[in-house]
C-alpha cells in the first residue's frame, strides 16, 4: 500500500468501534496488498466517534464507509462487504487516476497549483463544520436576544398601560382623603373617620398592587431560577393572609357577579414561607381566576392540610379551561394561549408563581378541562418549631 500525501488517489475509510470494523480494515488492507498496483494512493482511517464533524460533513448514514475523495467526483461505498464493492469499482478508479495524471501534467506546465493532500482536505472539512456550528450558535443567540428585546418592549408598553389604573385609583383615594380634611367640609366625624380609613386602605392596596407589578417585571427581566430570589421564610398564618387577599378582590368579584366560595379549616397549621412571596402567588392566581371566569361564574379557594409536612392551596374557577396540549407549558415564562394574546397581560405571572413556590420549597401544578374551568394547586411546608 502506498502512503503518499500527494497520491493522486485519495481514500478515506470511516469506521466505528464495533468489532466488525477491525475486520473490515484488515480485509481492505489485504485487498490493497494483493493488487500490486503501481497507482499511488493514500488511505486514511477515521474513527467517527473521534471526529464526528467529518462524519457530518460527508453525510454518512452508516459505517464502515469508504469514500473516494480524489480524483472527483466524490464517491461513497458502503455495505456489509466493502471489499466486493471496492473490487467492482477499482478498475474505473484506476482509469480516472490515469486521466487525472495526464491532465495534471498539462496543467502544471502552465503554472496551476498542485492539489491539496488528503490530511489538509480533512482538516479543512473539520474547520468548515466547526465554523458552521459556530455560525448556527451565533444565529440562535441573536434570535434569542431579539426575542428578549421584543419581549421587554411589550412589557414596557403593557406596564405603562396596566399601571395607569391602580395609579389613578390611588390618586383619587388620596384626593378624596385630602378633601375630607378641609375644615369647611361638614362631614359627620364618625362618617369622616370611616371614610378616611376606607380610603387609606384602598390607597395602600393599590400602591401594593403597583409594587407587585413592578416586582414581577424586574423578576422576569433578571431572574431565571428560584435561587435568585431573596426568600425570608418564617411562621405564616396562611388562613389570615388568604382571607385578607380575598377581601381586596371584593369589588372585582362583585363587578362580574362572581360567586366566591372558601373552604379553609379553622385548625389549619401555620406554614413556613415568605409571606410577601406567597401573597404574590395567591393574588396572581385569584386575579387570573377572575379574569378568565365569565360573568356569573364561580371561584373557589380551598386550603387543605394534605400531609403532616405539606399544606395545599387551590384556586378553582369555572372558566374556559386550558387545552391539554398547553398545560405542561402554562408555567413557562412568556407563554400565552393564542386566545389570550389580545388580552391584557404579559405572560410571566404563572412562570413567576412557579419560581416563587419552588423557592419556598413547594410545588405548583394545574388540573384543567376544556370549557369546565381550571384548578391551580400549590403546596407549602408546615411550620415546625
Of all residues in the chain, the percent with pLDDT exceeding 70 is: 70
Where do runs of H (alpha helix) occur along the chain?
Answer: 19-35, 52-57, 82-109, 118-180, 189-222, 238-248, 250-255, 275-292, 349-359
Radius of gyration of the chain (CA): 36
Enter the C-alpha cell of residue 144. 434569542
pLDDT tens digit string along 225-268? 444 567 889 999 999 999 999 998 888 899 899 999 999 999 99
CA-to-CA distance for 135 and 129, rounded, in angstroms? Answer: 10
Q: Give the contacts of 384 (CB within 8 A, at least 6 positions apart).
A: 272
- Assign 11 to helix, strand or coil: strand
Enter the C-alpha cell of residue 193. 373617620
* 62-76, 79-93, 204-218, 362-376: segment of lowest average pLDDT: 204-218
- pLDDT at residue 112, rounded to an integer: 43
Are 158 and 346 spatial neighbours (Cβ–Cβ below 8 Å)? yes
pLDDT tens digit string along 170-181? 777 777 777 766
- pLDDT at residue 382, rounded to an integer: 95
Residue 222 has pLDDT above 60, yes or no: no
Global pTM exceeds 0.75: no
CA 240 to chain centre: 36
Residue 111 has pLDDT above 50, yes or no: no
* 64-68, 227-231, 278-282: segment of lowest average pLDDT: 227-231
Q: Which long-range contacts (CB under 8 A, 24 or more apart) does 171-174 make?
A: 173/199, 173/200, 173/202, 173/203, 173/206, 174/199, 174/203
Closest CA to 55 of 132, 135, 121, 129: 129
Average pLDDT over residues 193-199: 75
Are 321 and 372 spatial neighbours (Cβ–Cβ below 8 Å)? yes
Mean pLDDT (the chain, rounded) = 76
- pLDDT at residue 64, rounded to an integer: 80
pLDDT tens digit string along 34-59? 776 667 777 888 777 777 767 666 77
Residue 1 has pLDDT above 50, yes or no: no
pLDDT tens digit string along 127-161? 666 666 677 777 888 887 887 777 666 666 556 55
Average pLDDT over residues 311-315: 96
- Assign 261 to helix, strand or coil: strand
Average pLDDT over residues 120-132: 62
pLDDT tens digit string along 316-351? 999 888 888 877 888 876 555 555 545 544 445 788
- pLDDT at residue 151, rounded to an integer: 63
Q: Give the contacts of 238 (CB within 8 A, at least 6 positions apart).
A: 268, 270, 271, 273, 278, 303, 311, 313, 380
Residue 301 has pLDDT above 60, yes or no: yes
pLDDT tens digit string along 80-90? 788 888 888 88
Confidence of residue 296 (pLDDT cuts 50, 70, 90): very high
- pLDDT at residue 363, rounded to an integer: 94
Amino acid at each position: 500500500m502506498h502512503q503518499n500525501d500527494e497520491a493522486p488517489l485519495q481514500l478515506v475509510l470511516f469506521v466505528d468501534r464495533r468489532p466488525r470494523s477491525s475486520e473490515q480494515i484488515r480485509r481492505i488492507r489485504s485487498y490493497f496488498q494483493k493488487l500490486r498496483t503501481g497507482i499511488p494512493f493514500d488511505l486514511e482511517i477515521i474513527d467517527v466517534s473521534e471526529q464526528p464533524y467529518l462524519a457530518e460533513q460527508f453525510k454518512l448514514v452508516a459505517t464502515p464507509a469508504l469514500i473516494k475523495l480524489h480524483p472527483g467526483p466524490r464517491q461513497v461505498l458502503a455495505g456489509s462487504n466493502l471489499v466486493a464493492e471496492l473490487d467492482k469499482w477499482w478498475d474505473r478508479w484506476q482509469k480516472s487516476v490515469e486521466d487525472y495524471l495526464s491532465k495534471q501534467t498539462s496543467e502544471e506546465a502552465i503554472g496551476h497549483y498542485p492539489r491539496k493532500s488528503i490530511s489538509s482536505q480533512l482538516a479543512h472539512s473539520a474547520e468548515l463544520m466547526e465554523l458552521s456550528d459556530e455560525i448556527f450558535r451565533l444565529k440562535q443567540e441573536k434570535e434569542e436576544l431579539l426575542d428578549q428585546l421584543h419581549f421587554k418592549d411589550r412589557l414596557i408598553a403593557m406596564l405603562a398601560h396596566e399601571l395607569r389604573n391602580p395609579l389613578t385609583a390611588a390618586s383619587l383615594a388620596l384626593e378624596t382623603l385630602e378633601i375630607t380634611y378641609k375644615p369647611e367640609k361638614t362631614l359627620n366625624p364618625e362618617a369622616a373617620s370611616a371614610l378616611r380609613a376606607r380610603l387609606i386602605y384602598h390607597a395602600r392596596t393599590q400602591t401594593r398592587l403597583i409594587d407587585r407589578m413592578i416586582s414581577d417585571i424586574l423578576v422576569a427581566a433578571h431572574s431565571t431560577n428560584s435561587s435568585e430570589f431573596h426568600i425570608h421564610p418564617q411562621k405564616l398564618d396562611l388562613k389570615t393572609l388568604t382571607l385578607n387577599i380575598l377581601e381586596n378582590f371584593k369589588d372585582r368579584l362583585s363587578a362580574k357577579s362572581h360567586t366566591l366560595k372558601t373552604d379553609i379549616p379553622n385548625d389549619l397549621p401555620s406554614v413556613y414561607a415568605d409571606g410577601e412571596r406567597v401573597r404574590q402567588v395567591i393574588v396572581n392566581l385569584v386575579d387570573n381566576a377572575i379574569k378568565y371566569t365569565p360573568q356569573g361564574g364561580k371561584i373557589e379557594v380551598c386550603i387543605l392540610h394534605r400531609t403532616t409536612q405539606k399544606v395545599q392551596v387551590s384556586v378553582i374557577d369555572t372558566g374556559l379551561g386550558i387545552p391539554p396540549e398547553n398545560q405542561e407549558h402554562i408555567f413557562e415564562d412568556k407563554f400565552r394561549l393564542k386566545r389570550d394574546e389580545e388580552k391584557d397581560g404579559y405572560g410571566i405571572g404563572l412562570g413567576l408563581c412557579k419560581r416563587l413556590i419552588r423557592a419556598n420549597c413547594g410545588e405548583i401544578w394545574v388540573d384543567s378541562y376544556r370549557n369546565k374551568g381550571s384548578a391551580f394547586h400549590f403546596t407549602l411546608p408546615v411550620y415546625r418549631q
